[in-house]
Amino acid sequence: MSLLALPTEINIAIFQLACMDGGYTACSLSLTCRRFFPLARPLIYQSISVAGIMQLQALAMHLLRSPKLARTVRHLFILEMDEHQVDDFQMRFGDEGATLSILVNFIFGLVSPYLETLCYLCPLSDYFEDCSQMLSRRSWPHLTELTVRGYAGLYHARTFPSLERFHLYTPGLSHQNTVDGLALLDQTFPRLTHLKITGIGFNSAFFLDMLGRKWGVTYESGAHFSVVYPNRRLAQFPPSLQCIAIQMRVPSERNSVVRRRRHKIMMKKVREWAEAVEEHGLVLHKPMKREKHYVQAKKDWLDRLEGGHGGWANESDGRGRRSLRKKAMSGCAVQ
């Protein structure tokens, strides 16, 4: 049966499901025929994917000309660099960095009251604190899923009252950011059920030790990893937290032989440590190269929009990726 023969209500229901792909299907449907144009038009901004300063400027201009469009945005994916720049991991700097901050801050100001999912990927640079601060400046009353890439990200001054799933892509966690983030996790994300940290490396021993002490299991960094513990505060998890997933990074070929050796030793220690705390709801995922962060984050975001598990699939370390549809990280409970 042709879609033209279906009642308008059924077409709208079909379009709402089909248009969860960053706006591509909605744009195509609106150009199909005169009947589909008014039906698909409100869905064009339901899920949006933008990459680079040009697309961010275009989105900002659309929202500026038609502020009511912001009320229809529910799912947003932002990559600050262009897609062809991802492998270079170019930093924000100079006038371009200032322009990016203004654009993202403007967009967040309009859509934050309505967003349900957000994937926000910043360049891996010292400027990440600006990205983190932009999130904390706004109120996100309906946001249930948040994915961020950067150095910090665990701690935000403003509470996310509805957030259930938080995924952080990071090249490392500094001591102070780790303390602030884990010690206030129950206050920042009071309804959090799933926490995932991707990019754990040899400089993250402090983070692992702080997690382990919560369960009475010490992560011994060994002679190769000097760890200083300035504060013995324990991680504070919200009662709703079910699972914590840790995904280590694959060392770059550009790293020195000594650094790669240290990383290999740490990976072995982390596997042993993870087995000791597995009963508390910790899941160790298969390591990922840093260069894959953007590609995987985009795939996971789209898969979640389609009803899949995305990055929350219960994949095992070293045994390959399990089917996203078979098992989700919902059967374990953090104790």
Residues 251-276: pLDDT tens digits?
766 666 777 777 777 777 788 777 77
Residue 11 pLDDT > 60 = yes
Residue 322: predicted pLDDT:
33
CB 148 within 8 A of CB 120: yes
In this prediction the pTM is 0.80
Q: Is 149 helix (H, G, I), strand (E, B) or coil?
A: strand
Crossing angle of helices 205-214 and 175-183, rounded to 10°: 30
More reliable by pLDDT, 147 or 292 = 147
Crossing angle of helices 257-277 and 205-214, rounded to 10°: 10
Mean pLDDT of the chain: 74
Query: Which amino acid does the sequence have at 114?
Result: Y
Residue 149: predicted pLDDT:
81
More reliable by pLDDT, 137 or 12 = 137
Residue 144: predicted pLDDT:
96
Crossing angle of helices 94-111 and 128-137, rounded to 10°: 20
Residue 204: predicted pLDDT:
75
Sign, Cα dihedral of 182, 185, 188, 189: positive
Residue 328: predicted pLDDT:
37
Residue 26: predicted pLDDT:
66
CB 40 within 8 A of CB 50: no
Residue 112: predicted pLDDT:
95
Give residue-wise pLDDT tens across range 196-220.
988 887 777 777 777 777 777 766 6
Q: Stretch 45-65: mean pLDDT, rounded?
A: 91
Residue 225: predicted pLDDT:
41
How sure is the predictor about 194, in pLDDT bands with cuts at 50, 70 and 90?
very high
Residue 312 pLDDT > 80 = yes
**Phi-psi region for residue 325, left (φ > 0), alpha (ψ -120 to 50) or beta?**
alpha
CB 284 within 8 A of CB 274: yes
Q: Residue 194 pairs with which residues in a beta bridge?
A: 165, 243
Question: Could you state, in order of their start, the residue ranges of all structural domains in the chain?
Answer: 7-44, 45-143, 151-335
Q: How would you classify the pairing of strands 282-289 and 194-200? A: unpaired
Residue 300: predicted pLDDT:
93
Q: What is the dihedral of CA 54, 58, 61, 66, to 10 degrees?
A: -160
Greatest mean pLDDT among 54-58, 158-162, 198-202, 290-294: 54-58
How sure is the predictor about 147, in pLDDT bands with cuts at 50, 70 and 90?
very high
